[in-house]
Structure 1
Amino acid sequence: MMGPDVVVLDYGSGNVRSAVRALEHVGASVRLSADPAAVRDCAGLFVPGVGNFHACMAGLDAVDGPRLIDVRLAGGRPVLGVCVGMQVLFDGSIEPSDAPVAGIGEWPGMVSRLTAPVVPHMGWNSVAPPAGTRLFAGVEHQRFYFVHSYAARTWDLPVADGHMASQTPLVTTCDYGGSFVAAVENGPLSATQFHPEKSGAAGLRLLANWVRSL
């Protein structure tokens, strides 16, 4: 039996074959495509991101990616962004210069350069998922593979309370020269700053958790 239909958004962002293979390994039926109908109608959309923020936004704009992502989310259709594919979901970034570059704006806040003594942050690091996480179920205490110089340093969306508390986004953090946002679970929209497709068994488990939720 075929697994859920997942489209890896094809907008010129580096080598995405490892993401395709990893998603296939955990049971998804995967297409690499920027076809609007495929992007709109698939069970899950995977948004990769390799390179700098400005180049990724230019590539997304060229395939109408921001609108397609927004349309999916308006209909409650799942999206998973990875690395710069996570960063573009925020208001913007100061990469590659100090002049802000606008992002898609699904989440408030700006992406900025890490303040660690050694940048980029490259290699394995532990993360701190919150209680109730589904994305990290079974891998809450595992390490994941990061390659980045910029990140969302803070989470700026207000926390809901009362009867809306169940809708509060779940934010996972990591520490490298200070805390930064390592992952977010926000209804149909999820994202990771690390590369799950390069994170061995833990990354495959995380991708499997996402695919099973579709």
Structure 2
Amino acid sequence: MNSLAIIDYGMGNLHSIAKAVEHVGADTRIRISADPAHILDADRVIFPGVGAIGHCMEELRRTGLDDVIREVAVSRPLLGVCLGMQALMEHSAENGGTDCLGLIPGRVTRFPADMPDPLTGAALKVPHMGWNAVHHSDHPLWQGIDQDERFYFVHSYYVTPARAEDRAGVCTYGIDFTSAVAHANLFAVQFHPEKSQHAGLQLLANFLRWDGN
């Protein structure tokens, strides 16, 4: 039986993600845990997150889970979700500037306050909240997902990878922004697959089959 650990550091829709994975992975043993031994024992790991990056990084460092994530990142498939994606970058502008895990070269920036709606000309709201089309690469985690399929987002900050080849998905909300990144056995998305209906479930199912190559 395959095993999956969902990292519990006090920030994330843990049970929603677990339920979504249960729906597509009947043969997968799922454990929500903050225990490094449990996490490192799993075949695959999901790193979720909601909220502010400053608190996220404080909790990861306090619990030692920052080093656990670094070890996972070089040894098995890792899926970052929302704040978990941003934490993989080098630095975020949030909370006055926060150093992140540095697993993928790049930075995290807040959406501009004056982005115009292309239809009405009015300023777009931040946070970006709701459904948006993702134009994606040919990575295995997109298998069976239509080009420009819509996923559900809730975020005020977006990532900019330093390497173009790490960009696995792009969206437009006032500006073009990276909505998915991929490097080696890391894959991360800004949207919430557990809230994205069929397409999100397909991505999670693909992750359960992915060997990281």
TM tier, shorter chain? 0.7 to 0.9
Q: 2:209 aligns with which of 195, 207, 212?
A: 212
Query: Match for residue 178 of structure 1?
Result: 175
Is 2:21 aligned against 1:6?
no
Query: Match for residue 120 of structure 2?
Result: none
SS of match in other structure, 1:197: helix
Is 2:102 aligned against 1:95?
no
Q: Amino acid of the residue matched to residue 136 of structure 2?
A: P
Q: CA deviation at 1:185?
A: 2.0
Instruction: Please list the CA deviations of residues 144-166 of structure 1 after superposition, one character each: whole Å capped at 9, or x if unmatched.
Output: 000000011x3212x6xxxxxxx
Query: Match for residue 196 of structure 1?
Result: 193
SS of match in other structure, 2:30: strand
Is 2:21 aligned against 1:23?
yes
**TM value normalised by structure 2:** 0.88
For the aligned residue pairs, the C-alpha RMSD in angstroms reads: 1.4
Structure 2 CA distance for partners of 1:108 and 1:54, relative to 1, 3 Å? same
Query: Match for residue 80 of structure 1?
Result: 79
Contact 1:72/1:78 (<8 A) preserved:
yes
**TM value normalised by structure 1:** 0.88
Contact 1:11/1:62 (<8 A) preserved:
no
Q: CA deviation at 1:170?
A: 4.9
**Cα distance between partner residues in 1 of 2:23 and 2:8:** 19
Q: Point out the more displaced range, 188-197 or 24-33.
A: 24-33
Query: Match for residue 139 of structure 1?
Result: 145
Number of residues of Structure 1 aligned to a counterpart in Structure 2: 198
Contact 2:170/2:176 (<8 A) preserved:
yes
Q: Point out the more displaced range, 37-46 or 82-91.
A: 37-46
**Cα distance between partner residues in 2 of 1:72 and 1:30:** 16
Query: Match for residue 105 of structure 1?
Result: 102
Query: Match for residue 36 of structure 1?
Result: 36
**Cα distance between partner residues in 2 of 1:170 and 1:37:** 31
SS of match in other structure, 1:135: helix
Q: Amino acid of the residue matched to residue 110 of structure 1?
A: R
Instruction: Please list the CA deviations of residues 38-93 of structure 1 after superposition, one character each: whole Å capped at 9, or x if unmatched.
Output: 11121111001110111111122222122111112233x11100000000000111
In structure 1, stretches of 5+ residues that fail to align are 160-167
% same residue: 43
